Homo-oligomer: A and B are copies of this chain.
Amino acid sequence: MITVNEYFDGAVKSLGYENNGKSTVGVIDAGEYEFGTSTHETMIIVEGTMQVLLDGQTDWKNFNAGEKFEVDANSSFKVKVVGQVSYLCKYN
């Protein structure tokens, strides 16, 4: 089964599935968002560039297609994108 998830009034959408653990592929519309985590997440950029501010950090970092960042469980991170960006998220 493939689940369809929507956040921020549809400005972020993702498809949930299983492949060696829980995964989502998603798309983020241009804008700025804050996401919370309940488990450890690995975010891999599929297409586009994402600016990311991890919890407890003061500098935004750019991540391009193929690059990834890790987010601790029970944490949060902010994301800014100037165009639509797609990502793969692994939960583990």
Q: Which of A's residues lie within 8 Å of B, judged by CB?
A: 1-2, 4, 10-15, 17-19, 23, 25-27, 29, 46-48, 83-86, 88
Which of B2, B11, B13, B83 is in CB contact (< 8 Å) with A19? B83
Which of B4, B10, B25, B83 is in CB contact (< 8 Å) with A25? B25
Q: Which residue of B lies closest to A16 (CB)?
A: B27
In the complex, what distance in Å separates the CA atom of A23 from the CA atom of B84? Answer: 10
Which of B4, B46, B84 is in CB contact (< 8 Å) with A18? B84
Question: Contacts of A29 on B, CB cut-off 8 Å?
Answer: 1-2
Beyond A15-B26, A25-B27, A26-B15, whether A2 also contacts B84 by CB under 8 A is yes
In the complex, what distance in Å separates the CA atom of A27 from the CA atom of B1? Answer: 10
Question: Contacts of A10 on B, CB cut-off 8 Å?
Answer: 1-2
